[in-house]
Amino acid sequence: MSQPQRLRDQSDFDQLPDNIPVSATIADTEEKRGFIDYYRFVIEVKTKGGSKYLIYRRYREFFNLHQTLEAKYSPGDAERPAPNTCVLPSLPGKVYIGNKQEIAESRIPELNTYMKRLLHLPAWLLHDETLRIFFYQTEEDSLQQPRALRRLRPPTRKVKTVEQPKMDLFSSPRAEAMFDFRGNGKAELNLKRGEVIFLLRRVNADWLEGTVNNQTGIFPESYVKIIKALPESDSEGNGGGRTYSCLRCYLLSPSGVETRDVCVQEDLSIQPSYKDLLSRMRNVFKVEDIALNYRDPEGDLVRILDDEDVQMMIEEARRQKGKIKRPVNQFSWELHVTMASDLSVYSSEA
């Protein structure tokens, strides 16, 4: 690069606002137990002004960012780039088969290289709105509590072991399992009759969070007998643990109606994809040949066929929100699951 070009690039960089991201490094990976279980990357972002903060992003969000930037700035001819175009760094491709945690861990070096090269592109590109939104710390990001940040820890020669104080088992809030319970997904515990569960907090009126056999998760209160109740603050759901939102689901079949509450680590405002909802309902009810539906204000079932239908369902539920009283951590919409062969359900395209 010529000296005038370097000076011009340095001048452009100096004129960038202080909140522009200039470097980003993956600090850790964390599992998120949503409508489907996935891993996200905990990323430490540094700005031109010297501030640091953490953001949480899935690979899917990296992929969407890259596609948007390619559509805007990739030159038609890499040998002769036009004005306001540049050659973008390569993004590691999608992986469809394998252990999710191992896939996420293996992507870290490549994604770190991708972000480094992306933020060292011409200064004018750093003004791009899509790029800035990706690296911007949202309110949801700021409320997250990182668990380990393994990759930001300084190397040490000696690891000091700190002995944990022993738990007084007889003074701890706890319950005894009265029936076997098989959880759906990693967020829910598996219980066997007679096991003692140590209680952490109340999730809602019907579900508790606790630990048993070195596993932590949620379970329905109706399956246990309380031996020692939670303190009042934790009973109201203020225990400071993971935040769960619950979705009421119904399986409609010739033998009757089966009702389940599916609790996920998602914000109530999320709009899950049709694919994720279908996958989760198949797992919850252990039936493959199913269809998803919701009830319209007249009480008729409307079939959900794609992401647009999911959006319509959520918007309709929000319009009806004040008319139906629900627990504070329950989604305003509900799913009615039927057999795919049941043609008595109206399609939203009708």
Residues 183-242 pLDDT 10s: 877 778 899 999 999 888 888 778 888 888 888 888 888 899 988 888 765 555 544 456
Q: Decide if pLDDT at 308 tops 90.
A: yes
pLDDT one-digit tens code per residue, 13-64: 677 788 889 999 999 998 887 788 889 999 999 998 889 999 999 999 999 9
Q: Decide if pLDDT at 5 tops 70.
A: no
Side chain identity, residue 281: M
Place of tokens 């690069």: 1
In terms of domains, do 27 and 130 share one? yes
In terms of domains, do 292 and 202 share one? no
Max Cα-Cα span within the chain = 79
Q: Is residue 163 part of a domain?
A: no
Q: Is residue 11 part of a domain?
A: no
pLDDT one-digit tens code per residue, 162-189: 444 455 555 678 899 999 988 877 778 8
Distance CA 250, CA 264 (A): 17
Distance CA 329, CA 41 (A): 26
**Secondary structure letter of residue 80 according to DSSP:** S
pLDDT one-digit tens code per residue, 95-131: 878 888 899 999 999 999 999 999 998 888 888 999 9
Q: Lowest mean pLDDT of 71-85, 108-122, 204-218, 298-312, name the range.
A: 71-85
As beta bridge partners, residue 175 has 197, 226
In terms of domains, do 222 and 339 share one? no
**Domain limits at 266?**
243-343
Q: Is residue 155 part of a domain?
A: no
Question: pLDDT value at position 241?
Answer: 53
Tokens found for residue 42: 């905990």
Side chain identity, residue 247: L
| Cα 111 to Cα 6, 148, 181, distances in angstroms | 27, 19, 40
**Secondary structure letter of residue 337 according to DSSP:** E
Enclosing H/E stretch for 130? helix 129-135
Question: pLDDT value at position 1?
Answer: 46
Question: pLDDT value at position 159?
Answer: 43
Q: Is residue 9 part of a domain?
A: no
Question: pLDDT value at position 42?
Answer: 93
Query: CB–CB of 138/132 below 8 Å?
Result: no
In terms of domains, do 34 and 67 share one? yes
Q: Lowest mean pLDDT of 6-15, 242-251, 269-278, name the range.
A: 6-15
In terms of domains, do 39 and 121 share one? yes
Give me the CATH number covering residue 306: 3.10.20.90
Q: Is residue 184 part of a domain?
A: yes
Q: Is the pTM of this model over 0.85?
A: no
**Secondary structure letter of residue 82 according to DSSP:** P
Q: Is residue 248 part of a domain?
A: yes
Closest CA to 67 of 96, 97, 100, 90: 90
Query: CB–CB of 203/237 below 8 Å?
Result: yes
Q: Is residue 12 part of a domain?
A: no
How many separate domains does the chain show? 3
Q: Is residue 161 part of a domain?
A: no
Last residue in a domain, options 191, 220, 237: 237
Place of tokens 């992507």: 107
Q: Lowest mean pLDDT of 156-165, 215-224, 285-294, 314-323, name the range.
A: 156-165
Tokens found for residue 76: 């038609």
In terms of domains, do 181 and 290 share one? no
Helix (H/G/I), strand (E/B), else coil: 305: coil
What's the rounded mean pLDDT across residues 323-328?
A: 76
Give me the CATH number covering residue 199: 2.30.30.40
Average pLDDT, the chain: 82
Question: pLDDT value at position 122?
Answer: 87
Write the CB contacts of 83 (distance below 8 Å, at least 6 apart in sequence): none
Distance CA 291, CA 345 (A): 10
In terms of domains, do 117 and 26 share one? yes
Tokens found for residue 228: 């020692």
What's the rounded mean pLDDT across residues 337-347?
A: 74
Q: Decide if pLDDT at 311 tops 80.
A: yes
Max mean pLDDT among 65-79, 128-142, 231-245 falls in 128-142
